[in-house]
Structure 1
Amino acid sequence: MKKLNTVLLALIGVGISSTALAQQTAKEPGEWYLGARVGALSLDSDRQGIKENVLYQADDGFSTFAGGLEGGFMLTEFWETRLYYDYVQAGIDGAPGDLYGYSYGVDYLYHLNDNFYAGLGINATDVGDLTDAMVRATFGHRSFITDQVSWRVEAGAQRGWELDHTELFANVGLQVWFGEPTASDVQERPVVQPKQAQQTTQETVDSDGDGVIDSKDKCVNTPAEYSVDENGCVKYKNETVREELLVEFAFDSSKVPESAMSRIEDIADFMKKHSQLDITIHGHTDSVGEEDYNQWLSERRAKAVADILVNRFDVSGQRVSYKGHGESDPKVMEDSAADRQENRRIEAELKVVNRVPVER
């Protein structure tokens, strides 16, 4: 076991060299792999195990062998889940022989780019029939030898919550990929044969530079600043635009302040631009006075603003309605004259959903 550290470091060095020379190939959702892994654990200095009914102290440092199998699945473009099972062989501190065990668990990995990833997981690590449930943090690098074969090198740490162990690990792995992407923006390019070179060049022309070749582009000359779908047509999204109207009134008054006319005109212009919209003016009062009187006053305030929209700013009366709420719906709790002023008001809101292009 003492030579394990040197052997595993050599293996990791080979993996790093291989990944440095390999191509970068991002995988898509729906693709999955099976693989083999080999590495080393640096066990906690308190890690113990049982052999022939005797409790022994396990070697610490990177002297514990861990190797096994793994399988993974691409959940999204960035997220991957992985299951693994490792055979574990640890030396005994100060005595001949080994402690045997296993480590198995699940990781969720986030791809920082085409090569580097980081993740969290949980596992159970057993050494000499003593098992600790652990949380694991991983950082790794993966590159592809071919489209279907990849190398990876990774390292990390794990922390137990039952036996309170803190341990490090490092390993290399080889994966073979299977399956078809569930969604992909990758364009298949025809194989160039010598006699077909000119034809192939024509088939891969993308005149408007939107990422969709002309032979598949159903919307030519799309603007460069917009995203497109698989047919080369501009993608759209819904965008909500709101206009709000708030006018405050003097005490016991339904006269609309001249200072509010500019904002009311803005609402009228918005309604003329969006002819499908109607508006309801909601009138309110403070809590001073009789309830019936305040109901009447709130209706007068709402009607006054509605009349200005119709008579002064030429909005069709069929599109304008009003309603009084009296003192029943205060904007703020009344503890002062300033609070009562905020409650003497009319309110209205207009909302329209526009279909706008998605920018790159």
Structure 2
Amino acid sequence: MKKILLSAFLLASVTAFAQDTMNDDNDQRDREEIPYNQWSLDFGIGAHHPHNLTAPGFFVNNPSFFSGDLGVRYMINDKFGINLDLGLNYFENADKEEDQSGEFQTNAYRAGLEGVVNVGTILGFREWTDTFNVLGHGGIGMTAIRFDEDINDETDWTGHFIVGITPQIKLSDNFALNLDASIVGYLSTDASLDGTREQARTDFDGFVSNYTIGLNWYLGNKEVHADWYNGSESARISELEERVATLETNNADDDQDGVPNYLDRDNTTESGVRVDNKGRALDVNKNGIPDDMESALDSRYAKKGAIASGANGVDGDGLIKQLINDGYVNVYFEFNSTKPTQYSLSSINFLATYLRDNPEVSATLTGYADEIGSEDYNKNLSERRAKMVNDILVATGVDASRLSYNGEGEDDSVEKSSSQARQLVRRVKFQVN
């Protein structure tokens, strides 16, 4: 028993020593957020058996019930921790006739401080299992022994030591099943456990063996508790690889506008369009069309005043009608969406203005989809896109009787593997007559 007591003191000392000798490691973790939870509540209930603690003629069942345990545990790191241990042992006389025990009922309430060692981490369990672990614990504390008042109305206060081992089975990120086997030794007692015999016990021949089953409830918002954290070199390499992959993804530039994805507020800007530092196309006049696209349209199709003056032998209304029917005025959509892109709203306004200025003209709206997805789905999607534009035009004041719409389904005229090309066919085009 003296060896057991020495082991308990050594275990508590190791915890204190570990806190001092791992300052460098903890300083490093202070600079980087600790990647695991450190707090837990540990519950257990079960049976026990006292050894050499009762007077002659008093016996207990083997095993006896009830034993309960509650621990509030803090892991200093993934190998060592401390635990505030609270426990209860209820002892009563054996109920078997052959034992012929005197009657008694005794409660022992204990509180103590323990050192905890994550045996599984130290021995490298994380290299071969993520569901099984072993903790070791040991420490000292105080116990209050309350006897049956009819036998002994005094409370026997005594110091105790405790040492034990706790296998664990992980149930989830928040809970683990634990099985604990511990020895509790009383440093001195004034009476036998049944309360009938006065004694001054100063040796360690008498002790209680505890066996409980319970749960570890892990507290915190991290994905893993220190009990299960894998801090091995291979795990760190894997974590670094994940970080590198994340950096590569974040720093990619899908729309090639010079702004990485993680800063880009609009990751679908057209190639060659100037953007601000958040990846949004420059649009000084706030008309929904990127400035670079607007100036290109002006230079390619018509200058200001050309329409009104009938440049190139075409009257203004005739040129507008030609532009619309030749497919230069379209409404575009994002993938699998019926909501027009922001820059396409000016095209809807363009057609609405033309229809208001030419009340005898009607328009047909034809929707299209790219080739991603089934034909039936894309047929329906293209019709819903056309209807959406139809509804917007009606909302602007265009008479619904002047509009008709339909969906043509997939437009396979562009390269299916090119996301930029597919953007061009996700559209609604106009035909005026």
Fold shared per TM-score above 0.5: no
Indicate the TM-score class for this superposition, using the shorter chain for normalisation: 0.3 to 0.5
User: What TM-score do the two structures reach when normalised by structure 2?
Assistant: 0.33
Q: Report which of the two has the higher share of strand.
A: 1
Q: Report which of the two has the higher share of helix.
A: 2
User: What TM-score do the two structures reach when normalised by structure 1?
Assistant: 0.39
